[in-house]
């Protein structure tokens, strides 16, 4: 991939850049601006080089329709505060407002187009439709910079098709993400421990399949752990269970053993009768041994003995990748397992990578700063697909000879 440092003199050139500004909102208030902050090094580089910066980004899932709920107005305001300059927000994506906003830019100034997902062709499966939209995007740039790692696994007009039309380069964020993930999959310092959590085992099967050949130890927590435990013949009560993948989990356990690898599972759990996620409440929580989950209760977080086991495993590693919480961390009583894993990563003498998504949100909710970890990915889905061994269209297109 070409770096933005290889683009030559950018003075007066229009730099069309794809960022990932899909940030969480509470009304109009951004509750986590991590993705915006992650783009600052590239945006600052372009501004300092005298480029006229035109940003493409999305927010939420407006599904090809204009919806004020998904306007990038809060993003433009916050980005302006972080950059210390006005960020002009176009009133549309490729219409008259976008054209006039881009035309008005002076060297070093920044404009943000409205939500690209307002355009039906942005996510179209029809290549001709996407290309036609990409051609409209390309009118706004002399070069294209890809810096939205959270979307590089999507073949979308603002990610993939426009990169075919303009001289293209990876921004600092995308380049760093690829560098770190390649290090994990190709040259990890050992022991290499992968910590996986989250609700659904099906979401992580391909990752497990690929990483069993690379990692030394897999630590499995969260709701997905109970399908593994069921495969060992344990009763899991009302806990999350994917019956269709019980045999698959049993096979992974056998494969790991045969290859001299270790899969570490919970030994105790925090259980309750029920919870109300929307209200962030849970009925009385108790800790039980993993062999004694009551038939009428569900495991909602790992227990203290598992916290200690997982932490010991993590702190003994030289490389750690973590994706997925250990429990329903948004509810205080069920956040302890995730907090223990996050703390263990901060105490590890080696490369620690937090794989985006809920894990990245969790470490910030729990009060950790980004610099306590080796790297926090901005793309949960993209990082997982990379670790699955899949080709990411938004990366592959940057590597093509033009």
CATH number of domain containing 218: 3.40.50.1260
pTM, rounded to two decimals: 0.89
**Tokens 């921004």 found at:** 171
Query: Is residue 110 predicted with pLDDT exceeding 80?
Result: yes
Q: How confident is the model at residue 381 (pLDDT cuts 50, 70, 90)?
A: confident
Question: What's residue 50's pLDDT?
Answer: 98
pLDDT tens digit string along 14-39?
999 999 999 999 999 998 898 999 99
Span 131-160, mean pLDDT? 97
- 274 & 165 share domain: no
- 78 & 149 share domain: yes
Q: Which of 142, 173, 204 is the last residue of a domain?
A: 173
Question: What's residue 268's pLDDT?
Answer: 98
Q: Does 376 reside within a domain?
A: yes
∠ CA 132-135-139, rounded to 5°: 150
Query: Is residue 196 predicted with pLDDT exceeding 80?
Result: yes
Interatomic CA distance for residues 55 and 21, integer angstroms: 10
- 164 & 256 share domain: no
Mean pLDDT of the chain: 95
User: Is 35 labelled a binding residue?
Assistant: yes
Q: Does 92 reside within a domain?
A: yes
Nearest to 350 by CA among 329, 325, 384, 322: 322
Q: Does 96 reside within a domain?
A: yes
| Active-site hit among 13, 14, 18, 35 | 35
- 168 & 197 share domain: no
Expressed in percent and rounded to 5, the helix, strand and coil fractions of the chain are: 45, 15, 40
CB within 8 Å of 291: residues ≥ 6 apart: 234
Query: Is residue 311 predicted with pLDDT exceeding 90?
Result: yes
User: Is 123 labelled a binding residue?
Assistant: no
pLDDT tens digit string along 43-97?
999 999 999 999 999 999 999 999 999 999 999 999 999 999 999 999 999 999 9
- 80 & 215 share domain: no
| Active-site hit among 77, 176, 183, 200 | 200
Question: What's residue 129's pLDDT?
Answer: 98
Cα–Cα distance list, 334 to 52, 221, 239, 296 (Å) = 47, 13, 14, 18
Is 357 assigned a catalytic role? yes
Is 381 assigned a catalytic role? yes
Would you say 18 and 145 are in contact if contact means Cβ atoms under 8 Å apart? yes
Strand locations in 207-297, DSSP E?
217-220, 262-264, 268-272, 275-276, 281-282, 286-289
pLDDT tens digit string along 111-139?
999 999 999 999 999 999 999 999 999 99
Q: Does 402 reside within a domain?
A: no
**Tokens 């790991």 found at:** 256
- 168 & 198 share domain: no
Question: What's residue 365's pLDDT?
Answer: 85
Q: Which of 149, 173, 197 is the last residue of a domain?
A: 173
Burial (Cβ within 10 Å: 0-12, 13-18, ≥19) of residue 151: buried
- 59 & 156 share domain: yes
Question: What's residue 402's pLDDT?
Answer: 61
- 33 & 168 share domain: yes
| Active-site hit among 357, 379, 380, 394 | 357
- 144 & 255 share domain: no
Question: What's residue 360's pLDDT?
Answer: 86
Query: Is residue 7 predicted with pLDDT exceeding 80?
Result: yes
**Domain housing 216:** 180-388
Interatomic CA distance for residues 316 and 311, integer angstroms: 9
Query: Is residue 199 predicted with pLDDT exceeding 90?
Result: no
């Amino acid at each position: 991939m070409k770096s933005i440092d290889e683009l030559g003199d950018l003075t007066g050139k229009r730099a069309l850049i794809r960022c990932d500004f899909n940030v969480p909102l509470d009304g109009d208030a951004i509750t986590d601006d991590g993705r915006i902050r992650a783009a600052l090094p590239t945006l600052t580089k372009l501004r300092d080089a005298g480029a006229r910066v035109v940003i493409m980004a999305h927010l939420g899932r407006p599904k090809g329709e204009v919806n004020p709920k998904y306007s990038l107005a809060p993003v433009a305001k916050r980005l302006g505060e972080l950059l210390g300059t006005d960020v002009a927000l176009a009133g549309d994506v490729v219409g008259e407002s976008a054209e006039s906003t881009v035309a008005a830019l002076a060297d070093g100034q920044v404009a943000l187009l409205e939500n690209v997902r307002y355009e039906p062709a942005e996510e179209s499966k029809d290549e001709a439709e996407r290309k036609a939209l990409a051609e409209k995007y390309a009118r706004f740039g002399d070069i294209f910079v890809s810096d939205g790692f959270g979307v590089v696994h999507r073949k979308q007009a603002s990610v993939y098709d426009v990169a075919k039309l303009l001289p293209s380069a990876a921004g600092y964020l995308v380049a760093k993400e690829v560098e770190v993930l390649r290090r994990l999959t190709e040259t990890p310092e050992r022991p290499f421990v992968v910590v996986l959590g989250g609700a659904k085992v099906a979401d992580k099967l391909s990752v497990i399949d690929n990483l069993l050949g690379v990692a030394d130890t897999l630590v499995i927590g969260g709701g997905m752990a109970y399908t593994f435990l069921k495969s060992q013949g344990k009763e899991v009560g009302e806990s999350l269970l994917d019956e269709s993948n019980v045999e698959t989990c049993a096979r992974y356990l056998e494969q790991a053993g045969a290859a001299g690898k270790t899969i570490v599972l919970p030994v105790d759990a925090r259980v309750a009768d029920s919870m109300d996620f929307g209200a962030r409440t849970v009925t009385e929580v108790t800790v039980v041994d993993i062999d004694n989950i009551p038939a009428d209760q569900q495991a909602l977080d790992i227990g203290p003995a598992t916290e200690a086991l997982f932490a010991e495993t993590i702190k003994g590693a030289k490389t750690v990748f973590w994706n997925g919480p250990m429990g329903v961390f948004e509810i205080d009583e069920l956040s302890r397992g995730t907090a223990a894993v996050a703390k263990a990563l901060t105490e590890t003498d080696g490369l620690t990578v937090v794989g985006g998504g809920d894990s990245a949100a969790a470490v910030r909710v729990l009060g950790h700063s980004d610099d306590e970890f080796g790297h926090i990915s901005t793309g949960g889905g993209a990082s997982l697909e990379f670790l699955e061994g899949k080709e990411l269209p938004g990366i592959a297109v940057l590597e093509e000879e033009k």
